Amino acid sequence: MDHQKRLLIVDDEETLTFSLYQTFINAPIECEVITASSGDDALSRVEEKPFDVVITDIAMPGINGLDLLSLIKAKNPQTRVIIITAYGSDEREEQAMKRGAEFYIEKPFDLREIRDLVFKMLG
C-alpha cells in the first residue's frame, strides 16, 4: 500500500516558507506538507518520520542546510533533497551535489519551476 507522501520545507524566511506551504497544500496531489524554520527543527521532524522530499535553505540558525542534507541522507538515503539558497556559488553547488542533493536552486526562483520538480519527485 502506498504511504502518504511527505514534503518538508525548511527556511528561516517566513514569507517564503508560507508561500511554498500554500503552493503545495493547495496543489492537486495527496501530500502532507510540514514546515520548519531552522535546521534543528527540521532534523527533529526528520527523526520522527522520514520525508519523500525536503526543500531546504542553506544559511539558517543552528544546523546549516548542507549538514542537514548529509544527516537526512545518512538516515533516509531515499529522501530527495532540493537546496534553495540566496548565496549561490559553484563550490557550494558542488558540495551540495556531492552530499546527495538532487537540485541546487538560487533564490529568488520561479515558483512554477520548483513546483514542477516536486510534483515529479512525488510521482
Partner 1 sequence: MNSKIEKQKQIFSLLNHKFGNLLDDQELPLNGPLEEESVAVQPADQDRLINKVYNFYKSIIQNINGGLITLDLDGEITFVNRTAAGMLGYQVEELHGASVDNLFGDDPDSRKCLRAVFLPGKRFDDREVTFRQKDGKTKIVGLSASPIHDENNKFDGIVLLFRDLTEIRHLKMQIERMERLALLGELSAGIAHEIRNPLAGIKASAQILEESFGVDDFRYQIVGRIVREVDKANLLLKEFFKFARPTKPKLKFHDIEMIIDGMYLLLAPKMQKRNIQFLTEFGDDVPQAYVDEGQLEQVFLNLFLNAIDAMPAGGNLKISTCKKRLRILDNEKDRMEVESDELNYVIVEISDSGQGIGPDNLKKIFNPFFTTKVEGLGLGLSICSRLIEENSGKIDVASQPDKGTTFVVALPSFVHN
Told to check if 30 binds partner 1 by CB under 8 A, we report: no
Q: Is there a contact between 74 and 92 (Cβ–Cβ < 8 Å)?
A: no
Peptide bond into 61 cis (omega under 30): no
Q: What are phi and psi of 39, to 5 degrees?
A: -65, -40
Binding pattern to partner 1, positions 65-94, x when CB under 8 A? -------------------x-xxxxxx---
Nearest distance from C-beta of residue 89 to partner 1, angstroms:
7
Edge-to-edge order in the sheet of strand 5-10 = 31-36, 5-10, 53-57, 80-85, 103-106
Told to check if 95 binds partner 1 by CB under 8 A, we report: no
Q: Is there a contact between 71 and 40 (Cβ–Cβ < 8 Å)?
A: no
Q: Among the candidate windows 15-23, 28-36, 46-54, 65-73, which touches partner 1 by CB under 8 A?
A: 15-23
Told to check if 111 binds partner 1 by CB under 8 A, we report: yes
List contacts with partner 1 (CB under 8 A). 13-16, 18-20, 22-23, 57, 59, 84, 86-91, 106-112
